[in-house]
Amino acid sequence: METFLFVLFALSACGGALAVVLTQNVVRMAFWLVISLGSVAGLFFSLDADFVGAVQLLIYVGGTVVLLIFGVMLTSKEPFTAIKQNPAEIVQGAVVGLAFLAMVLATVYAVDWQSHQAVVVGHEHDGLPSGYNRPIEGNTARSIGTALLGVRFDRDLGKGGEHASGEHGHAHRDHDVSTGYLLPFEVVSVHLLVVLVGAAYLARAKRRRPVSAA
C-alpha cells in the first residue's frame, strides 16, 4: 500500500512537472502545477511530515497558485494566450534538460547515503538521543510549534537520560542544547510583512495626475 501510494504520487508529481514544461498554454500550466504540488503534498504525508504536507496544501495549492492564476488573468488580453517557442529552442531545451537530469540522477545514485550517514555520525551513533529520529509516525504539529517558539522537546529532553552514564557526556552536553527556531521565525515573519507591504506598493493602481491640477 505504501509503495503503491508512493508510486502514484511520484508519477503524478513528475508527470505534472513535465506537463508544466511541455505545455504552451499558461492556464493549463497552472492546472498541471496544481496537480504536481498536490502530489508533492502527498509525498510529504507519506514521509511522516503531516504538518508540512498540510501547509503545502494550504499555502502552495491554496495561496500561491491562486496568486499565479490571478497574475495570468491580469496579464493576458485573450483567455488562451500562448507565446510560442520555435522548435529549435525546444530541441535545445530537451537536450540540455536531459543531460542535466542525467547528471543529477547519477550524483544521487552514486552516493551511498547509509554509509555516508555512519561516517558523519561516527562512533556516537549509539549515543543518539532517543527523540532524535522518532519511530512514531506523523504527529509533528506540536513539536514543530514548540520548536518555532524556541523549545525543542524532541531533542533536549531526549538528551538527559541517554548521556547520563557517560563520563565525558556532561562536558559537551551543555553545548548541544538546541535553542529552537525562535529567531528565524521572527526574521521570517518580519520578512513576510515587509515583502507583502512592498508587493502592495509595487502593484498598486497608478493614479493619473489630472492635467488641470498642475
Partner 1 sequence: MNAYLAVAAVLFVCGVMCMATKRNGIGVLMGVELVLNGANINFVAFSKYGLLGLDGQIFSLFVIVLAAAEAAVALAIALNFYNNHLTIDVDQASELKN
Name residues contacting partner 1, limited to 170-189 (CB under 8 A). 181, 184, 188
Tell me: does residue 4 bind partner 1 (CB under 8 A). no
In this complex, which beta carbon is closest to partner 1, that of residue 24 or of residue 167?
24
Looking at the Cβ atoms of 112 and 212, the one nearer to partner 1 is 112
* Interactions with partner 1, residue window 72-91 (CB under 8 A): 72, 74-76, 81, 83, 85, 89-90
| Single residue of 42, 60, 151, 159 touching partner 1 by CB under 8 A | 60
Site for partner 1 in 102-131 (CB under 8 A): 104-105, 108-109, 113, 117, 120-121
**Counting contacts by CB under 8 A, is residue 38 touching partner 1?**
no
**Smallest gap, in angstroms, from Cβ of residue 154 to partner 1?**
5
Q: Concatenate the DSSP letters of all residues of the chain into one string.
A: -HHHHHHHHHHHHHHHHHHHHH--BHHHHHHHHHHHHHHHHHHHHHTT-HHHHHHIIIIIIIIIHHHHHHHHHHH-SSTT-B----HHHHHHHHHHHHHHHHHHHHHHHHS-HHHHHHHHHGGGGTT--TTTT-SS-S--HHHHHHHHTT--HHHHHHHHHHHSS-SSHHHHHHHH---TTHHHHHHHHHHHHHHHHHHHHHTSPPPPPPGGG-
Q: Which of 5, 8, 97, 177 binds partner 1 (CB under 8 A)?
A: 97
